[in-house]
Amino acid sequence: MSAPTPTPASAGEHRPHLLYVAWGFPPCRGSGVYRAWATANAFAAAGWDVTVLTAPRETFTMSTGIDESLERTVDPSISIVRVPFHAAAFESDLRRWPRSRAAAPELWNVLNARREQRTFPERTYGGWRPALESAAVEVHERHPIDLVLGSANPHVDFIPGHVLHERFGVPYVMDYRDAWQLDVFSGDRVSPEGSAVAQWERRLVEDAHAVWFVNEPILRWHADLYPTRADRFHVVANGYDAPPETTTRRPSQQGLVFGYIGTMSAAVPVDRLIDGWRLARTRSPLLAASRIELWGHLNHAGTPNEAIARQMGAFAENGISYHGAVAKKEIGAVYARFDALLLALGTGRYVTSGKVYEYAATGLPIVSVHDPGNAASDVLRDAPAWFPVADLEPETIADALVAASHAALDQTPEERRAAREWATQFQRDRQLGPQIASLRTMVEDRRAAGVPR
């Protein structure tokens, strides 16, 4: 572990101490890291001492990749404790594999998965539990903790809150940026009642002070599963951190730029987008002269998504270019390159995606290339410049692209400003602010009542 815990506040300051647990924290560039980064920063800005438990930097270097520019924007008052983490899934150096793994990798992986889940029922991450517990107790003994907030997944991030609650009575909050027993794409429950996962989640939810979800559909699913605790459930949407720069581009009949920023996992229908785009260019001279720019990683992990890698062969002939990942500090400048946006998402009633809010904040026309039943549709329902599709057939996507191209060409500065103003409801501080204030009141009430820390 590294980095000391913050010095306890003097008696007159009454600064509450938050223990924030997030396996993926800057410089990690993986899924959900912006939520973790923004949440820790928001608590610090609200006058809390914040200690973060996370994985070592080299873990991200070897797996998700890193964004050092994001790491530099972590509030300097935050103490970061990097808890040792070891998992076979992230060991890519074959020279470090045991002989048994090299000889029979499939069998070894099955046996190793069982070992990893002995202490906590979560593949790859379950073995982190003992180190997390020790780190949490050590931090609490040095600087008593008033609240624990765990951000999942991985769901082992909830363990420090559970341990400190049972041993010292510390309240904890569970932040689900995804779901544990719910497959957000299929809508299926993935862990049967009575399983180790089901038992652990029920136990954790029963004792939690509050549980956060990123959208209403996911909250409702869990409320049906845990009706006696539903009054503690809250939607804390991802939101956006700062409105992207206003583009200086002047849309032209000479051609538009449609942009996509985000992780292109196997669930993202890039193939459908390309089919619809190819067809739209045959129907519209404007789109025939236009292009698509794709920005982002080609998977959540460090290994590129094979499906999109195969698609790249057809990019150049269709006016599509891939530009790689975008650092946090550069994302506004990339948005300024576009005349319209492409929101391509995996199918699922419970799928929102963090980028939908940032897209809305640009004020640019947005073409939704996803199942209309996605939760992202709920976010954009009243957006001034939204072009949804009724299905993912090429003809339908082509129609939306053509309509959006005309809107991009005709959009006035006043219409752009109105669209940006509409999106201010999704600013992240509007999502986090009321929750942080409520938690501050809870902590202060506990102190006033003489509840020991």
Q: Residue 234: what pLDDT?
A: 97
Q: Which residues, in sequence order, are bridge partners of residue 147?
A: 18
What is the average pLDDT across 260-269? 86
Cross-strand bridge partners of residue 21: 53, 150
**Cβ neighbours for 361, distance < 8 A, ≥ 6 positions apart:** 240, 243, 244, 420, 423, 424, 426, 427
| Residue 350 contacts residue 182 (beta carbons within 8 Å) | yes
For the segment 351-373, the average pLDDT, to the nearest whole number, is 91
Question: Bridge partners of 49?
Answer: 17
Task: Tell the residue number behind the tokens 């236009």, with chain if given.
Answer: 290
Residue 72 has pLDDT above 90, yes or no: yes
Higher pLDDT, 352 or 84: 84
What is the DSSP track for 96-147?
GS-HHHHH-HHHHHHHHHHHHTSSSS-TTTGGGHHHHHHHHHHHHHHS--SE
Query: Residue 178 in contact with residue 341, Cβ under 8 Å?
Result: no
Across 96-110, 165-179, 207-221, 248-262, least confident range = 96-110
103-144 pLDDT per residue, tens: 666 765 666 666 666 788 998 899 999 999 999 999 999 999
On the question of pLDDT at 247 being above 50, the answer is yes
The top-level CATH class assigned to 257-426 is alpha beta
Q: Do domains 17-239+428-448 and 257-426 have the same CATH topology?
A: yes
The pLDDT of residue 97 is 67
- Position 295 scores a pLDDT of 92
- Residue 11 has a pLDDT of 42
Calculate mean pLDDT across residues 389-400.
96
Look up the CATH number of domain 17-239+428-448.
3.40.50.2000
Residue 302's pLDDT is 53
* Rounded-to-integer distance, Cα 70 and Cα 37, Å: 8
* Mean pLDDT confidence for 150-166: 96
Which residue ranges make up each domain of the chain?
A: 17-239+428-448, 257-426
Coil, strand, or helix at residue 337?
Answer: coil
pLDDT for 248: 64
What is the arithmetic mean of pLDDT over 54-68? 88
What average pLDDT score do residues 308-329 get?
Answer: 81
Rounded to two decimals, the pTM is 0.86
DSSP 5: P
Is a pLDDT exceeding 60 seen at residue 7?
no
